[in-house]
Amino acid sequence: MTLTVDSAAVSRVQGFPPLLAVNLTVNGQPHALQIEPWVTLLDLLRQKLDLTGTKKGCDHGQCGACTVLIDGRRINACLTLAVMHEGRSITTVEGLADGVQLHPLQQAFIDCDALQCGYCTPGQLCSALGLIHEGQARTPDDVRELMSGNLCRCGAYPQILEAVTTVMFGPPPRGAAA
């Protein structure tokens, strides 16, 4: 459940401190923000910065739709407070393309038909980018295991796996199962 809180009223009634200052770089853009401590990074991105590419699926760390990168590492934006990330650099799906040039992962998702409704796709893309940075996946089976934090209720998993492994290891041999 999401509660909408009038922070000024809270400050008056309960004596809470004023808004907290936090400086974040989001997709290369610096932002100096004043926020309540209970604002998650996900809500900050979507509601204060209008970066609605990052999706709120479960809001409980169970689906991965909110996956973004903090200093290059993938995390669930729904389960972290924005105020805890002073000085850090956030990358969302909006920051993946280079101008009009899609990121290779984005192009691979299109080429492999790795989405149906598309709601999980921003999280899948950021998660795949984080996975590549981590350097722990050496086989398609590793990729499947290390992408398990991102659910796709349309069931595009074979195509998602194909897209990610194509970017990492090159296209599968002709006729091979994904």
Partner 1 sequence: MRPFDYTAVASVDDALREAGESPECRFIAGGTNLLDLMKEDVMRPVKLVDISRLPLDRIEPTPGGGLLLGALARNADTAYHPLVQQRYPLLAQALLAGASPQLRNMASNGGNLLQRTRCFYFYDVAVPCNKREPGSGCPARGGLNRIHAVLGASEHCIATHPSDFCVALAALDARVHVRGSGGARTIAFADFHRLPGDRPELDNTLAPGELITGIELPEEGFAAHAVYLKLRDRQSYAFALVSVAAALDVDDDGRLRDIRVALGGVAHKPWRKRAAEQGCVGQRASTGVFAELADALMAEAIGQGDNDFKIPLARRAIVRALEKAAGLPADKRAAPESFS
- Binding residues for partner 1, rule: CB under 8 A, are 1, 3, 5, 7, 10, 14, 16-17, 20, 36-38, 40, 59-61, 64, 67, 73-76, 79-81, 83-84, 86, 127, 130-131, 134, 136, 145-146, 148-150
Strands (E), 53-140: 67-70, 73-76, 89-91
**Rounded CA gap, 167 and 18, in Å?**
46
What is the nearest approach in angstroms of partner 1 to the Cβ of residue 67? Answer: 6
Q: Which of 151, 144, 152 is nearest to 169 (CA)?
A: 144
**Rounded CA gap, 77 and 90, in Å?**
10
What is the nearest approach in angstroms of partner 1 to the Cβ of residue 7? Answer: 8
Interior angle at CA 26, CA 4 and CA 131, nearest 5: 100
What is the nearest approach in angstroms of partner 1 to the Cβ of residue 10? Answer: 5
Nearer Cβ to partner 1 (113/134): 134
**Dihedral sign of CA atoms 5, 93, 169, 135 in order:** negative
Nearer Cβ to partner 1 (108/147): 147
Nearer Cβ to partner 1 (10/97): 10
Instruction: Say if strands 73-76 and 20-26 run parallel, antiparallel, or are unpaired.
Output: unpaired
3-state secondary structure of 34: strand
Question: In this structure, which amino acid lies at residue 98?
Answer: D
Nearer Cβ to partner 1 (2/101): 2
What is the nearest approach in angstroms of partner 1 to the Cβ of residue 115? Answer: 19
Nearer Cβ to partner 1 (12/110): 12
What is the nearest approach in angstroms of partner 1 to the Cβ of residue 80? Answer: 6
